[in-house]
Amino acid sequence: MSTLITNIAELMTQDLEHRVLKDAAVVVEGERISWIGAAADAPAADDAVDVGGRAVLPGWVDSHTHLLFAGDRTAEFEARMAGESYAAGGIAVTMNATRATSDFDLTRLALGRVDEAVSQGTTYLETKTGYGLDVEHETRSARIASTVADQVTYLGAHLVPAGQDPEEYTSLVCGPMLDAVRPFVQWADVFCEEGAFTAEQSRRVLLACRDAGLGLRVHGNQLGEGPGVQLAVELGAASVDHVNYLATGDVDALAGTWTGWDAGTGSGSRGTVATCLPACDLSTRQPLAPARALLDAGVQMALASNCNPGTSYTSSMAFCVATAVLQMRLSVHEAVRAATYGGALALHKDTGNDADGERAVGSIAVGHRADLHVLNAPSATHLAYRPGMPLTYAVWRAGKQAR
């Protein structure tokens, strides 16, 4: 079954050629994109959808979320808005509520959050464990997450639970807990910050997880300058996320990881993606991550929602894009690219086509997964020009219309 999507005013491909096509069309066949080009040259298809002169871009790729949780932290949010500073300890509140929630309800809550994200144009997303923080509940979270998200990250090293010895808990994360969650996860992460895990504890966790065959990610440099970025670079992590407080050496180290990568072909030695989480920055009143400086230095960057109950209770990637344009000095094209192709790069889903059967996401090209976001606007510029407006008109996820 093939579908021609036509009368596209602006098609922002976010492919390696950075093409923006006018008066364009796309043909979707099964879960794949089989043709793109000028609407006047479009081939015949089994069905046709006229999008009425609207813009089409890749579906958002949200590479950093925490969807497996229960409970409410509005009191913490209100206190922070009244002047209290953010600290990592609030995670324990969510841990207690999540542990007390049944499998059925935890799944229902997570699926509801996924549906919210898809309704706003997100077509591929990662989520993490990290609100169980013992073997039983981390394993449960990993298992449920594997049924609701496209990729799952093990975050047993989110916080040391109250009353536990940090070194003993780190050993648990590196041993029995890792063994239990391993069948359900592709990545491992660690909250390398004051009040969470030290550099040496973080290194232990990441090395154990790498030995177990997991890819690596790091929560780093969110609350102040620290070792997170340098540790991510040292161990070849796929991404380091937050990156609010960066010294010149941190930016240089991240840029250095990309010197062997060809941005024009997407080939070579890929580096560590810097993932910026602007919705979280606003909620915690941290300085916005220096996205402009990162891009100018040659660092590949992603934008993600960081959807979680304590510091960023939103899955709106459009909000993140608008913030990146209006306050982080990115162009619309750069911000959209970071929220699509950049997220795919951080998740190692930026490549794949008909030849290998592993379909790329985050860009619109023949052979890639048919993840399309139709805006109720003639161009992607409206995402920042009309911030906060509900601009999602239609969504195709893996070739199926999801909205």
Residue 89: pLDDT band with limits 50, 70, 90: low
Q: pLDDT, tens digit, for every residue of 6-52?
A: 999 999 999 999 999 999 999 999 999 999 999 999 999 999 999 99
Mean pLDDT of all residues belonging to the chain: 96
> Domains in the chain, please, with CATH?
2-58+353-401 (2.30.40.10), 60-330 (3.20.20.140)
Query: Do 336 and 19 meet the contact criterion of CB atoms below 8 Å apart?
Result: no
Mean pLDDT of 303-308: 98
Query: Do 360 and 350 meet the contact criterion of CB atoms below 8 Å apart?
Result: yes
**What pLDDT shows up at residue 88?**
59
**What pLDDT shows up at residue 392?**
98
Integer Cα distance of 357 and 73 in angstroms: 42
Alpha helices in 53-134, H assignment, sequence order? 74-81, 91-99, 103-119
**What pLDDT shows up at residue 177?**
98
Statement: residue 320 has pLDDT above 80: yes
Q: pLDDT, tens digit, for every residue of 48-76?
A: 999 999 999 999 999 999 999 999 999 88
Q: pLDDT, tens digit, for every residue of 164-207?
A: 999 999 999 999 999 999 999 999 999 999 889 999 999 999 99
Tell if the pTM clears 0.85, that is, is over it.
Answer: yes
Q: pLDDT, tens digit, for every residue of 239-270?
A: 999 999 999 999 999 999 999 999 888 889 99
Q: pLDDT, tens digit, for every residue of 327-385?
A: 999 999 999 999 999 999 999 999 988 767 789 999 999 999 999 999 999 999 999 99
Statement: residue 91 has pLDDT above 90: no
Mean pLDDT of 276-302: 97
Query: Do 45 and 34 meet the contact criterion of CB atoms below 8 Å apart?
Result: no
HSE of 174, CA atoms in CB hemisphere, 13 A: 18
Mean pLDDT of 120-141: 98
